[in-house]
Amino acid sequence: MQQRTPRPARLAPRQTLNLAVYPGDVLHVVHGRVSMIAAPQWLAETLLACEQPLRRGEHWHFERNGYVTLRTDDEGAQLMYRPAEPQPPRPGVHAWSWLWAFWRGSKRPA
């Protein structure tokens, strides 16, 4: 299984970075401040845009797939982005998918 290594990123003052994130990924602010702007989401017929400020030493653990925009202020920032570790395949999943395909194939109408 391949190890995923952390990726450092340095953002200049007033720079933005669009980043694709996945469940289990972690963003750590090493130096400076960033504003993390998540994709808008619907909540009770209202579109909400979430902006989360992160300062030096803080981190964010992503819980779902999506895109975020990172925006720095006047001093810039140094970040460390750590992708989630790949999960080993669950035993028996392949056998169940084969069984499901077999069952679906045998139920075709004549």
Protein fold of 7-106: Jelly Rolls (2.60.120)
Give tens-digit pLDDT for 40-76.
Answer: 778 888 888 788 999 999 999 998 888 899 999 888 9
- Min mean pLDDT across 10-14, 66-70, 77-81, 96-100 is at 96-100
- pLDDT above 50 (res 80): yes
CA distance 55 to 31: 8
Give tens-digit pLDDT for 26-36.
Answer: 999 999 999 99
- pLDDT above 50 (res 1): no
CA distance 73 to 36: 12
Q: Give the rounded percent of residues in the chain with a pLDDT score beyond 70.
A: 75
Query: What is the pLDDT, as a whole number, of residue 64?
Result: 85
CA distance 89 to 95: 12
**Which helix (DSSP H) or strand (DSSP E) does residue 46 occupy?**
strand 46-48
- pLDDT above 60 (res 109): no
Parse the chain into domains and list their residue ranges. 7-106
Mean per-residue pLDDT of the chain = 81
